[in-house]
Amino acid sequence: MFAVPPRPSLPPAQCAAGPMSLRFEDVSQDGRLMLRGIPHGLGEVLWREVLARHAIYRGLLAEGIVPILSRLVIGSLESPLPISKPLEASAAYQLAHTVDATGEVDRLVLNLWLDVYGECGLTYGAPPPRAGERLEVGRVFAEHVFTRLFADPGDRKIRRFEGHGLPPVPEARYEWRAADALLDLPPDGEWLDATAVSDPAPIVFGLGQTDSNQHVNSLVYPELFERAGLRRFAALGRSTVVLPRFVEMAFRKPSFAGETVSVASRAFRLGDRLGLAAVVSHEGEPRPRVIARMLYEP
């Protein structure tokens, strides 16, 4: 439940590896890699070096067809890390399809995986016991659905590729997962809230949270959920000296500059760790726009 989906065995043409940048603000005071410091490796290693030259980008984009992020899973693993040592990343992609209840093709998807490695150490102070050892410090899984981004709603779904050297329906089959399952209590967990609680701080989006897809960027949401969780833990009298180590988010509908949304969350305890099941919603809409589960460690 708190693991990044494993990467399948994929041909070398669908894989890439290379250095990945590490910013000062990506490492916590105790040397742990922040969740926000991991996903950009997909852009540095996979998108720029492999997918930017692929028909996924060059051919489909000309038709207005783009892969839109629908699920993002980020895990921060071993530590500590010094900020002075570069990271190494290994990434891969797979085209796949999902089916509906009748067995018919329902979606075409692009799945990405990222594994990040670094050298054990600290920025300041005496070297830790495992100094110099190569550690796997982070993992990412990113699920995308192909869509005609700017078409009328009824014309957006893509069930077949036409041309560009792509198979009409990718051979790999991918099991679609219900977003609402992220709101379930983990096994052996204990709810700290009887029901979901509305966060007192409204979220107002401006242009600084958007990207070239003309809506709020997906990586805005992890910090949004992190801060909502800290406010919830403080209200419950729990420690806020905790760090998010895992997040899974399912995206149902984008948000836009100028909009105000709200967060509702339900805190839980899992051993000595705290967690949050949360949604981002817009007033008047029947379903949340984003659903998330986040796990924090002391």
**For 71-113, how does the pLDDT look when each residue is reduced to its tens digit (9 = 90+)?**
999 999 999 999 999 899 999 999 999 999 999 999 999 999 9
Cα 267 vs. chain centroid, distance in angstroms?
Answer: 20
The contacts of residue 228 (CB under 8 Å, 6+ apart) are 199, 201, 263, 265, 276, 278
> Which is the CATH superfamily of the domain at 179-297?
Hotdog Thioesterase (3.10.129.10)
CB 98 within 8 A of CB 106: yes
Residue 201, both tokens:
């701080």
Residue 178's alpha-carbon distances to 10, 17, 93, 292, in angstroms, are 26, 31, 22, 12
pTM: 0.95
DSSP-H helix ranges across the chain? 40-41, 55-58, 221-235
Residue 19, both tokens:
């250095």
What's 6's DSSP letter? P
Select from 247, 177, 180, 185 the least CA-distant residue to 218: 247
Residue 19's alpha-carbon distances to 38, 49, 74, 209, 245, in angstroms, are 12, 12, 19, 27, 22
Q: Mean per-residue pLDDT for 272-282? A: 98
Q: Mean per-residue pLDDT for 231-252? A: 98
The answer on pLDDT for 117 being more than 80 is: yes
Opening angle at CA 177, ends 74 and 278, nearest 5: 55
> Which is the CATH superfamily of the domain at 12-155?
Hotdog Thioesterase (3.10.129.10)
CATH 3.10.129.10 domain locations along the chain: 12-155, 179-297
Q: Which residue has the higher pLDDT, 86 or 209?
A: 209
pLDDT band at 203 (very low <50, low <70, confident <90, very high): very high
**For 17-58, how does the pLDDT look when each residue is reduced to its tens digit (9 = 90+)?**
999 999 999 999 999 999 999 999 999 999 998 988 888 877
pLDDT band at 176 (very low <50, low <70, confident <90, very high): very high
The answer on pLDDT for 155 being more than 90 is: no
